[in-house]
Chains A and B, each alone.
Chain A
Amino acid sequence: MSSGFSVFRVGISFVIMCSFYMPTVDSLLELSPQKYFSTLQPGKASLAYFCQADSPRTSVFLEELNEAVRPLQDYGISVAKVNCVKEEISRYCGKEKDLMKAYLFKGNILLREFPTDTLFDVNAIVAHVLFALLFNEVKYITNLEDLQNIENALKGKANIIFSYVRAIGIPEHRAVMEAAFVYGTTYQFVLTTEIALLESLGSEDVEYAHLYFFHCKLVLDLTQQCRRTLMEQPLTTLNIHLFIKTMKAPLLTEVAEDPQQVSTVHLQLGLPLVFIVSQQATYEADRRTAEWVAWRLLGKAGVLLLLRDSLEVNIPQHANVVFKRAEKGVPVEFLVLHDVDLIISHVEHNTHIEEIQEDEDDDMEGPDIDVQDDEVAETVFRDRKRKLPLELTVELTEETFNATVMASDSIVLFYAGWQAVSMAFLQSYVDVAVKLKGTSTMLLTRINCADWSDVCTKQNVTEFPILKMYKKGENPVSYAGMLGTKDLLKFIQLNRISYPVNITSIQEAEEYLSGELYKDLISYSSVSVLGLFSPTMTTAKEDFSEAGNDLKGYVITGIYSEEDVLLLSNKYAASLPALLLARHTEGKIESIPLAITRAEDIVQIVTDALLEMFPEITVENLPSYFRLQKPLLILFSDGSINPQYKKAILTLVKQKYLDSLTPCWLNLKNTPVGRRILRAYFDPLPPLPVLVLVNLHSGGQVFAFPSDQAIIEENLVLWLKKLEAGLENHITILPAQEWKPPLPAYDFLSMMDAATSQHSTRKIPKCMKETDVQENDKEQHEDKSAVRKEPIETLRIKHWNRSNWFKEAEKSFRHDKELCSKVN
């Protein structure tokens, strides 16, 4: 009996879902002009694209429009394609095919017309339409004065949501408009695309979209500024919604119950709670502290004042802060923190362990496993339509390969057309070809191994990209430097001559060491190496020659072994065999004895000698210093380094204080990514320059030289001693997490199992899968991919759940109505 009933129930849900799955609902209506105007209802908005039959250029636009049907329907806006036919002439039908436009009506009143190129994708369509409809709710401004006027007008009355987006119609703009659709009556929305306006608010990283909450309602004194809270998450509809929710929550709540039991809206939103423990005696002061903390943590955590005296449960004696994570079942932490900043940093380092529930089954907002998250693949894909000046490099084939590389000195890039890394490097390669155009004796060629796989295999190329140099009479050499324009150019330029250079007279040697001999090359190799040998040292010479050959393309090497070699060695106080190292930028010549003579040792000696004592660290050179496995002592500087600091550090180097470290400096102007590094170390950012010691290879602690001390030798020595004695506290520890898969994969095995257990996979109607999916859901999401596999209709149900939050604006009744009508 009961089983019969459950079958019946499944039947019902099946019917509901089937009737729910009506593909026509989502697709674009196609109407004639007359028919279209008859469908317009008073007060209802409608977007119509008037088009002439079969104009090919509109197909991309139509695809996007089709995609916009569903989101616009969620806002009660209907969308139609109106076919202009000869019999029915409407003034909205353009005269020429190119001039077709989309029109937004409210009732039968025309609100706006859009040329199709402004509606370039689904985001632009939704953003523009909402922007037009919410003309009053969203104020568009272009200067600071406008903003101040609005701010002044709303003080004591309402709060403002101010946002900057780079352009109208981009996804961030859409997100802001969607939020304005819901919250437009509660908050004043202000929008700008002026970067100068954003800068005048003191924002950093102005290249990205920003959203601020201006707390103006609290402000009673008109001379006072509204407090501002910056939303730190990327601008998406969901993030804005969550952000506004936290802004709406009370700033500070007083509680007198077990922290384990307390729950506020923050926990639901996935934010942690911070309890400031208070006693009657210090209540006033605690409350002030708590308020201050609350402002600092606004949007990041909920702050509560916990009254210890009226509490029934015991909390540890000394604890003054209780931290409760958003995840269920994690016990609260009792902390003793004597500094407000420590509370803030504790929160910031411990939040968002779990992604927000709503996000999880949300195809649109959550991380989607079908969305590219490989930056190289994504950027290459985005750039695929740009035409590269490929003609500057010769494309080789199976027929031309051998003849070409035999006929002239050539560089060959082996790549695969479908591989992103190859294609990214191809761009640098082409850049090099542009730079060398007409000047190089080296022929730049490329071969696509996706086409000429056999050629690549024969050249021993089994991975991509590979770059090889073919010179007459020599074995091909694989390029082993950075895959970028600069290093590749250096490699090609330095390879114009062969190494080591045979120097034949003292005078020539002096010219070589002074940089005169290869004037045009020393900009690529700031160091020239000269091996000094007496004529009889044959094996040493051979080894050096081998080393010079190995180093070709990376550094200039020369050899001198004439009878009068002693003149040189005496001059530079070197005993034979020896290396002379001419550093052209510093104008210095050093000598290094060459006791060991194996080629690979010589290579190592030269490589080590190329390292500077106090280098400017860059993206390109970090690896050479990184491999020394020593902690880095980095001076972050905004622009070139103050010579005094440089002097101070070089003095310490000479006094051997820094032997266990790698001292270096970073110019934020040359290496902007350094700013992100600083942000990982500091919060808030200290004034620059700042000196930091990073223990990269053991422990990951980061220590900061006190910013109130001058960077002079004495202070540095003292600080280093304290560090050594373990008397300094680290400011942060670098995360030690392993690199795990960024997202799950489709679990086909489970899908196949599921299909087998149902014996038939093909014949069942799509709706049936609905019920399986729901059962699966109950089983703790054991199979996320099956959830993804589910037909679109389920996603739609979820989509609606997600849009529950629209309810508060009392606009969601429309959905409910729609649902009923569909069920009926």
Chain B
Amino acid sequence: MGLSAAAPLWGPPGLLLAIALHPALSVPPRRDYCVLGAGPAGLQMAYFLQRAGRDYEVFERAPRPGSFFTRYPRHRKLISINKRYTGKANAEFNLRHDWNSLLSHDRRLLFRHYSRAYFPDARDMVRYLGDFADTLGLRVQYNTTIAHVTLDKDRRAWNGHYFILTDQKGQVHQCSVLLVATGLSVPNQVDFPGSENVEGYESVSIDPEDFIGQNVLILGRGNSAFETAENILGVTNFIHMLSRSRVRLSWATHYVGDLRSLRLNSGNAFGKKYPLIRASYESKGSRGLFILGTASHSVDYRKSAGGFIHGFRYTVRAVHRLLEHRHHSVAWPATELPITQLTSSIVRRVNEASGLYQMFGVLADVILLKENAMAFEYLEEFPIQMLAQLETLTGRKARHGLFVINMEYGRNFSGPDKDVFFDDRSVGHTEDAWQSNFLHPVIYYYRYLPTEQEVRFRPAHWPLPRPTAIHHIVEDFLTDWTAPIGHILPLRRFLENCLDTDLRSFYAESCFLFALTRQKLPPFCQQGYLRMQGLVSTESLRQHRVESRLLRDDAPMGRDLEDSSQHPGDQELLGAPLAPGPLAQSLDSNKEEL
């Protein structure tokens, strides 16, 4: 009896001890998300994690964010533009000309409040990043150098393993997802006779005095090389510049990393410099390891702006959205709209979206059609190389066809050695839109979600597999794609022919006429008028309507229906047994080819 009473007394204390000892000895503090580096990309990711209420921690080697910018660029001038006045109020649009701000809901955290210079000073960037972290209350552990990372297999972990990070003090952190945003720090080692005399960009003297009267060989012809050359030009005997490829000027290649005036990174041996990652920015080797920021540039290297703040702020957001779905069942954000808003929603995005514009060819908007094409979901800035996996990555369904909205330069335009100022480089006619040279919206239509095979073996120079149909919105120097005839009308015709429907808008009076003289109504009347939200025309518009009867296929508005049923335009409008339109025909032939 006494024994049995004593045993329970002894048991619990032993258990308690074990629990107390365990964390200190074997179970390190665990985080869902660990971010390495409090540079722009790391802070950007921290922001999204914070907003989503996730469990995360940022580890930063330095005592303050953005330590890179305390040393680089050596000559203190950033190459990213800071255009403070664009002539437009649209905040999203203005980000197209603001290459330094990170994304946040806080208007005060726009870079234009930190610098007036078009090419700002690096010190302003340091100040900006510090404010960004502080104002938003991001969780950053400063003065923490992660010395090494190991994997700890665990079936219960999100990705089948935990990332074990050990810092300089031997402190261990366990992470479910590891987001590496450390930038690039290892320069290429060049081996050649005399290489012992090589001074790296990271340590080269910025005092021109040090080079007086010397012969200098500069390896590489990137922005850093020119930056250095320019700096010492006045004092040296000879400057030789040597690199594997010819000089590339960014205005000839549209690649901001090509020579503009200054540049941050060195060399161009791409294979060594960038880690191997997927188009979803996840490491090919270990699931749950993502590369953010400059280091993620391999996805779009030499094509888009993913290596720069104005690019990776969007790719970071895309990664965050992928993670939200993968680990928290939050589907990729989407707006569901009636089909009558299809043309408008595309016009709106191509005119203002910054992510599409900066990360052209990498991030694209996706429109997923609903059954019968009466509604659609609009997804913004999806990494298009992952298109085949869209359903699993986003939690959205693409069963009824989809559109992809991508921004592209003309295929004939860019490239070293091409004269960008050739005589007929700009295209003004809608029917020549496909030959547009400057960045312009291209819309791909797929009846079915492309497969991985199709994405992988897509035609050369195509960002996406061959679509069922394609539309180019003709280039515009001011990137203003709102012209009723030049931009919107051809877009509507394209969408109509893809969906085999009539996407025109009608006044209530026309809908009334259709409702009483036809068994079917066009979508605009179904989704507006019949729901008692018809568009009533004013007197002045009614006048114009009578006059516009001159329009060839304004047939339903013709003076009488008998009349209009004899009108050629009307026949097409009604879908009478006419020979299918050219697009419809070629769609079929494409299908055969595929």
Contacts and interface: CB of A to CB of B under 8 A. Distances in A.
Contacts of B156: none
Contacts of A379: 537, 541, 544-545, 548
Interface in A398-425: 398, 416-421, 424-425
Contact of A789 (B432, B469, B510, B552): B432
Contacts of A735: 517-519, 565, 574
B388 interface: no
B516 A738 contact: no
Interface in B550-579: 550-554, 557-563, 565-569, 571-578
Interface string B524-547: 000011111111111011001111
Given A486-B536, A740-B574, A451 B90 contact: yes
A742 interface: yes
Given A377-B488, A418-B347, A626-B515, A352 B532 contact: no
A746 B433 contact: yes
A375 B513 CA distance: 14
A366 interface: yes
Given A375-B507, A398-B89, A679-B560, A483 B535 contact: yes
B467 interface: yes
B519 A744 contact: no
Contact of B508 (A367, A482, A748): A482
A298 B392 CA distance: 64
Contacts of A485: 536, 538
Interface in A197-235: 205, 207-208, 232-234
A418 B482 contact: yes
A597 interface: no
B284 interface: no
A178 interface: no
B69 to A, nearest CB: 28
Interface in B445-493: 466-467, 469-472, 482, 484-485, 488-490, 492-493
A276 B34 CA distance: 89
Interface in A278-300: 300
A788 B421 CA distance: 27
A744 to B, nearest CB: 3
Given A377-B489, A619-B509, A371 B434 contact: no
B98 interface: no
A375 B516 contact: no
Nearest to B107: A398
B507 A748 contact: no
A741 B502 contact: yes
B505 A420 contact: yes
Given A376-B535, A623-B530, A352 B575 contact: no
A623 B525 CA distance: 10
Interface stretch (B127-135, B255-263, B585-593): B585-593
A482 B572 CA distance: 29
A376 B569 contact: no
A476 B482 CA distance: 30
> Which of A626, A632, A748 has the most chain B CB atoms closer than 10 A to its own CB?
A748
Contacts of B575: 737-740
Interface stretch (B3-11, B300-308, B320-328, B337-345): B337-345
Interface stretch (A307-315, A353-361, A541-549, A579-587): A353-361
B522 interface: yes
A28 to B, nearest CB: 21
A738 B522 CA distance: 8
B581 interface: yes
A696 B345 CA distance: 33
A750 B533 CA distance: 40
Contacts of B493: 369, 741, 743-746
Given A676-B560, A746-B490, A751-B434, A373 B508 contact: no
Contact of B535 (A424, A700, A739): A424
A160 B368 CA distance: 60
A643 to B, nearest CB: 25
Nearest to B468: A749
B425 to A, nearest CB: 10
B532 A623 contact: yes
Contacts of B338: 463
Given A205-B560, A676-B559, A739-B521, A375 B554 contact: yes
Contacts of B507: 375-376, 424
Nearest to A360: B568
A619 B567 contact: no
A749 B586 contact: yes
B504 A742 contact: yes
A351 B338 CA distance: 36
B512 A372 contact: no
B540 A383 contact: yes
Contacts of B490: 369-370, 745-746
Contacts of B541: 379-380, 383, 424, 427
A366 B552 CA distance: 7
Contacts, number: 354
A450 interface: yes
A255 B530 CA distance: 52
B532 A452 contact: no
Contacts of A481: 532-533
Interface string A420-460: 11001101100100000000000000000111111000000
A743 B581 contact: yes
Nearest to B580: A744
Contacts of A380: 541
A207 B89 contact: no
Contacts of A783: 582, 586
Contact of B553 (A373, A462, A788): A373
A784 interface: yes
Contacts of A427: 538, 540-541
A375 B89 contact: no
B538 A742 contact: no
B549 interface: yes
A372 B434 contact: no
A234 B573 contact: no
A323 B254 CA distance: 64
A367 B568 contact: yes
> Which of A368, A462, A696, A744 has the most chain B CB atoms closer than 10 A to its own CB?
A744
A258 interface: no
Contacts of B391: none
B500 interface: yes
B202 interface: no
B530 A355 contact: no
Given A752-B434, A782-B585, A736 B520 contact: yes
A668 B589 CA distance: 50
A397 interface: yes
A114 B385 CA distance: 64
A366 B559 CA distance: 19
B517 A376 contact: no
A399 B433 CA distance: 38
Given A352-B567, A356-B568, A748-B433, A372 B551 contact: yes
Contacts of A464: 344
A420 B537 CA distance: 12
Given A233-B567, A373-B553, A424-B535, 8 more contacts: A376-B507, A483-B536, A620-B534, A623-B530, A680-B560, A735-B574, A737-B576, A741-B496
21 contacts: A208-B559, A234-B549, A353-B576, A370-B431, A373-B551, A375-B510, A398-B91, A452-B90, A482-B536, A483-B536, A619-B534, A623-B534, A673-B512, A679-B561, A696-B519, A739-B521, A739-B574, A740-B500, A741-B581, A750-B586, A752-B470
Interface of A: 171, 205, 207-208, 232-234, 300, 348-349, 351-356, 359, 366-383, 386, 397-398, 416-421, 424-425, 427-428, 431, 449-454, 462-464, 480-487, 619-620, 622-624, 626-627, 632, 634, 671, 673, 675-677, 679-681, 683, 694, 696, 700, 734-752, 761-762, 781-785, 788-789
What 8 A-B pairs have minimum CB-CB distances, sorted nearest first? Answer: A484-B536, A740-B575, A355-B568, A744-B581, A418-B482, A741-B496, A784-B582, A739-B502
